[in-house]
Each structure stands twice: as structure tokens, then as C-alpha cells.
């Protein structure tokens, strides 16, 4: 019995960045991307998604901390990760 007929190898994570927010209709996906990109140190993508959400009129105060912290030096970010996110 063969399993795993998927196309995970062809998935391009950068492709999600070109997807229009109004087409997604799933803010939770974008919020998850902000958290994921933050955890993996892709701070430019964190800022890009946050700004995209703001331009579309979504109130994302909860994620402002990710946006703000993404501008700090990596040493400060690591300290804040330990304090705030455990």
C-alpha cells in the first residue's frame, strides 16, 4: 500500500506573500504566518504581512508586538523571546 502522494516538495512558502488577503478570507492563516516567520527569524516577512493586513483594514493590535519587535537587534529579540514567549 503506497502512501504519501502529495506535492510537499513543490510547496513555495514565498508564494503566500503574493496572495491577496481579500482572496484568502482567512486572517488566521496570515496571523499564523506572522508567528511562524517571527519564530524562524524572517522579520522582513513579518513586517510585510502585518502592513498588508493594516492596508486591508484589519485591526491586528495583538500582532503589533511582533511587528515592533521585528525592528530590534537580534540580541534584544532573543531576550524578549525568553521573557515574553517563554
For 46-71, how does the pLDDT look when each residue is reduced to its tens digit (9 = 90+)? 999 998 888 877 767 778 888 888 99
Q: Give pLDDT, residue 24.
A: 53
Residues 23, 45: Cα–Cα separation, whole Å: 19
Residues 13, 49: Cα–Cα separation, whole Å: 13
* pLDDT band for position 19 (cuts 50, 70, 90): low
Contact call for residues 24 and 56 (beta carbons, < 8 A):
no
Within the chain, where are the H helices? 21-24, 27-39, 43-55, 64-69, 74-84
Residues 72, 69: Cα–Cα separation, whole Å: 5
- Global pTM reads 0.64
* pLDDT band for position 44 (cuts 50, 70, 90): very high
Amino acid at each position: 500500500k503506497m502512501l504519501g502522494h502529495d506535492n510537499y516538495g513543490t510547496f513555495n512558502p514565498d508564494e503566500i506573500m503574493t496572495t491577496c488577503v481579500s482572496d484568502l478570507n482567512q486572517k488566521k492563516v496570515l496571523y499564523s504566518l506572522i508567528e511562524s516567520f517571527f519564530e524562524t527569524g524572517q522579520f522582513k516577512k513579518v513586517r510585510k504581512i502585518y502592513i498588508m493586513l493594516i492596508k486591508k483594514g484589519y485591526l491586528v493590535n495583538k500582532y503589533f508586538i511582533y511587528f515592533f519587535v521585528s525592528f530590534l537587534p537580534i540580541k534584544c529579540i532573543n531576550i524578549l523571546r525568553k521573557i515574553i514567549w517563554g
